[in-house]
Amino acid sequence: MTYPAIEALYAKYKNEDPHTRYVAVLAMRIFDAVREGAGFIDQDRVLLECAALLHDIGYSTDPPNHAAVSADIVLNEGVQGLTRQQCQLVAAVVRLHQRNIKKALGHPVFSDVAEEMPRLKKLAAVLRVADGLDHGHIQDTVITAIKPARKYCTITIRSGWYKGNLAWAEAKGDVWNEAMPWVLRWKDVAPFRSRTDYRDVVTLEDSPVGAARKLLYAQYRIIMENREAILCADESPDPEYLHDLRVALRRFRAALDLFEGPLRDTGASAINSKLDALGDELGPIRDSNVWVDFLCREAEKEAVCNDPVWPEFYRGQCAADAVLNGRLRVILARDSFNELINSLVRFLKSELPALMRMEKKRQVCVFGARRLLDVFERIEAYRKTMDYSDSEQMHTLRKLCRKERYWTEFLTPVLKGPSRLLGRQLKKIADALGDVHDMDVHLGTLATSEPEVPFALIAHMKRRRIHAGKMFHRAWSKLTDKPFRKNVDRHLQACRKKGE
């Protein structure tokens, strides 16, 4: 159904995010399947659809409190075609979609609709589940079947790239299990896939800005998941949370760089600078985590186990790591981080959807082919001028290859073919150079380390660095090999020409 009044509200409050329309589609699919057994009436479908379309309209105004703001907008603005009482019901359902139900029930609207609470909870139950199924905001979860039976209602889905959707739908199913006549059960029929496989994120139908929005949202969710895991950990958080958070930050920035042209007139540049500064703050903490993990490995322990200074040295490194880890929660909990997150949300939910509506129609595969062709030009420039003995040049090359490896992963779903081979080769180079860099950093740390450093450890690390250097040269030779470059170049040129 089309609601002109809702479209007008979208324009006024900068809410054109595809997420809201997708949640409305999912909500209607669930509603129609359970309508009879839940005791819904015709009017309920209209109210639920309006609530689904308006549940996030307050995001551009106040991201952390968007559910309350969205409900207030419905109450204050009204929806043409709905009575005042119906608007109150819609506002109440909107308010109930947020995670914290107890907090939601404190909204004044519930004093006006108290007698309708059983009905409202059923409608909210559907909206909460539908909203959870697109928590990633990249529209990658599909409902394949809904089967309400005597005791259970089983919803079968095919989850996409963001596996957190199902976890959120399960968590937000609490109201369903309280209000509905069935207990909610889930069945996911999607095979497991790596997070570097972006098949459900970037599609041939996407425009460049549309693809950017989904890729950026995907990384934003990973950032937020790991931030919460770090802040909620009872003791010292698992170092992998920080690793995954920093990788998502890098991928977010890589996507901003990839789509730099289409995003030129947005807040992308300012956000990129802030994320860069955050990454610089987190870098030393992660380096320390990697260092202590390196010292814990069996090969390294074997190399130094007979050295008498090893036990005291190892204790000292762990103590220094604990001090740095103590700073991690402070960085992630401070007000400036929350302000950064709010600016990210406004960028993703308001700026990019509005830009999608205005951008010229073009295919992301054509845009992507051109960008990856630029990669080859940079690689060729490095091949001609590279000084392999210069550690700074090698580190710069590592960051370039890592970023452009991310680009190939983002674009492989639409470019396919040799672009995947290019990504694999870039990953091998980045990984080898990463090992070289780690050894250089660790050797630099040992030069000023207290207490005394085990001599055997230094010798072992130098051997590791030599091995990593050989792995780099092997992968670099493959990447710069003329037949390999010609094969990938031919494929990308064909993809570029298809859209012209």
Q: Rounded to whole angstroms, what are the CA distances from 431 to 281, 297, 476? A: 22, 18, 12
Q: Return the SS3 of 183.
A: strand
pLDDT category of residue 2 using cuts at 50, 70 and 90: low
Flag whether pLDDT at 7 surpasses 80. yes
Helices 239-258, 268-296: axis angle to 10 degrees equals 150
Q: Which amino acid is at 162?
A: Y
pLDDT category of residue 6 using cuts at 50, 70 and 90: confident
**Cα 432–Cα 436–Cα 440 angle in degrees, nearest 5:** 165
pLDDT in tens, 306-327: 778 778 888 888 898 889 988 9
Flag the least confident range among 162-171, 182-191, 227-236.
227-236
Give the separation between CA 295 and CA 458, rounded to whole angstroms.
12
Flag whether pLDDT at 1 surpasses 70. no
- Sheet of strand 152-158: strand arrangement: 142-148, 152-158, 183-188
Which residue's entry shows tokens 């209000």?
Answer: 179
- Extract the runs of DSSP E, i.e. beta strands, from 36-151: 142-148
Q: Rounded to whole angstroms, what are the CA distances from 67 to 70, 103, 381, 428, 495? A: 5, 11, 51, 45, 43
Taking the model in full, what pTM does it have? Answer: 0.91
Give the pLDDT confidence score for residue 452 in this predicted structure.
Answer: 73
Q: Which residues pair with 187 in a beta bridge?
A: 156
Q: Which amino acid is at 63?
A: P
Asked whether the CA dihedral 77, 81, 85, 89 is positive or negative, the reply is negative
Flag whether pLDDT at 451 surpasses 70. no
Average pLDDT over residues 87-93: 95
Mean pLDDT score across all residues of the chain: 90
Helix (H) or strand (E) holding 152: strand 152-158
Average pLDDT over residues 17-31: 95
Flag the least confident range among 111-115, 215-219, 289-293, 306-310.
306-310
